[in-house]
Amino acid sequence: MDLYEYQGKELFRRHGIPVSAGRLATTPEEARSAADSLGSEVVVKAQVLTGGRGKAGGIKLADSPQEAEHHAREILGMDIRGHVVKKVWIEEASEIAKEYYLSLTFDRGAKKPLFMFTTQGGVDIEEVADKTPEALAKLHVDPLAGLQPYHARRLLFAAGIEEPGEQKQIAAIVEKLYAAFVAEDAMLCEINPLIVEPHGRVKALDSKFTVDDNALYRHPDVAEMRDLDAYPAEERAAREKGVTYVKLDGEVGILGNGAGLVMSTLDVIAQAGGRPANFCDLGGGGDAQGVVDALEVITPDPQVRSILFNVFGGITRCDEVAQGILDALGRMEIAQPIVVRLDGTNADEGRQILADASPPNLHVEETMLSAARRAVELAGH
């Protein structure tokens, strides 16, 4: 679960990482009174679960409460990469002398938490990793031994932090970030930028905080931070129906059984020159209800122009899935063309069932690649 900047900063604050004082606002008037209570200069920040808000015009400095209100009016309702701004965070403005970058995430290959730190903050970290990899200091932490103070010093040394005041403050932030990461069952904690103010104080100006969904039961306070409004309607419907679903931004709706198969289906759609509209995993079941639930989740999405069923029968039998698809078609009106590829247990029987019924707008393909090509073609490519 991704947290908003203001929520991540609240966790930072609880763990002793310095952040600016701020208040949340959902209307321009609230923004004005928030700015009024915070004093002099503030920054109005769009709260959306995506990065690059600054570039998109979602972050603006204001000299007065009136100006904060004006900026909030502009920013609220703004669409930032598909995320509509419903809340703004009003924060005491900071003066920035330097912008650094600090993150902690899992390196799955090494099976260890990984710190990354660079003095080239504020920009896209991918760009730093790409253009000046030597400027990106990395440090793995042994999860059993935990973080030792010399680790933090080594990380700062590798990134070229020489100023003693900065060394001391950033080393403390590194230790607190590690403690926060472990205590909150985080998957990612990113501070970009970590700023140095002109008089030398270091603080977190932004926050990206992702908590492991599977550990949320241990953190009722964090679980409560989930904002259902932030999820697209389809994702909410999927959550309610228990369908594994992730919205993507292409045109071909994908339904498969098993995460591995669905992921390779995404690849094959790309190979066929199309773009997947979603990731939808039917799981083990292929019964009519499961198929109806999944179709109900994906078909209302106006971006979906065609649908590809990619099912490999193992324990799930293809004839059952075929019957499930027919039952689903009988129960609901579906505008988009559907391509079906069945393989594995009882695939022939499954295909026969579909051929016999031959519902309009349903196309059966033999292979994953031909099915993907057909679905892409039907999506209008």
The pair of structure tokens assigned to 225 is: 């931070």
**Residue 109 buriedness (CB in 10 A; 0-12 / 13-18 / 19+):** exposed
Q: How far is the CB of 64 from ligand GDP (least distance, A)?
A: 15
Name the binder of 205 from Mn ion, ligand GDP, none, CB < 5-8 A by kind. Answer: ligand GDP
Q: Is 193 in the site for ligand GDP (CB under 6 A)?
A: yes
27 or 210: CB nearest Mn ion: 210
**Choices 82-90, 94-102, 130-138, 150-158 (CB under 6 A): range interacting with ligand GDP:** 94-102
Tokens 């912008």 — which residue? 99
Q: Is 54 in the site for ligand GDP (CB under 6 A)?
A: yes
52 φ/ψ angles, rounded to the nearest 5 degrees: 65, 30
Q: Beta 208-211 vs 362-365: how paired, if at all?
A: unpaired
75 or 379: CB nearest ligand GDP: 75
Q: Is 49 in the site for ligand GDP (CB under 6 A)?
A: no
Spell out, one character per residue from 198 to 237, where the chain touches ligand GDP: x when CB under 6 A holds, - when not.
Answer: -------xx-------------------------------
Q: Are 23 and 64 in contact (CB under 8 A)?
A: no
Ordered DSSP codes for 191-248:
EEEEEE-TTS-EEE---EEEE-GGGGGG-HHHHTT--GGGS-HHHHHHHHHT-EEEE-
Residue 251 falls in the annotated catalytic set? no
**Choices 46-54, 70-78, 106-114, 260-268 (CB under 6 A): range interacting with ligand GDP:** 46-54
Name the binder of 363 from Mn ion, ligand GDP, none, CB < 5-8 A by kind. Answer: none
The size of the interface with Mn ion (CB under 5 A), counted in residues, is 2
Residues 27 to 46 in contact with Mn ion, rule: CB under 5 A: none
CA distance linking residue 284 with residue 20, whole number of Å = 48
Beta bridge partner(s), residue 105: 114, 188
Using CB positions, name the residue nearest to ligand GDP.
54
Residue 99 falls in the annotated catalytic set? no
Q: Which of 4, 100, 101, 178 is catalytic?
A: 101
Q: Beta 98-107 vs 186-196: how paired, if at all?
A: antiparallel
Q: Is 192 in the site for Mn ion (CB under 5 A)?
A: yes
Ordered DSSP codes for 91-146:
EE----SEEEEEEEEEETTTTEEEEEEES--SS-HHHHHHH-GGG-EEEE--TTT-
Q: Which helix (H) or strand (E) holds 89?
A: strand 88-92
Q: Is the dihedral of CA 309, 310, 316, 319 positive or negative?
A: positive
Q: Is 103 in the site for Mn ion (CB under 5 A)?
A: no
How distant is the alpha carbon of residue 127 from its chain centre? 19
Q: Is 93 in the site for ligand GDP (CB under 6 A)?
A: yes
Q: Which of 122, 232, 258, 344 binds ligand GDP (CB under 6 A)?
A: 122
Q: Which of 206, 251, 296, 320 binds Mn ion (CB under 5 A)?
A: 206
20 or 346: CB nearest ligand GDP: 20
Q: Which residues bind ligand GDP (CB under 6 A)?
A: 43, 51-54, 59, 61, 93-94, 96, 99, 122, 192-193, 205-206
Residues within the interface to Mn ion (CB under 5 A): 192, 206
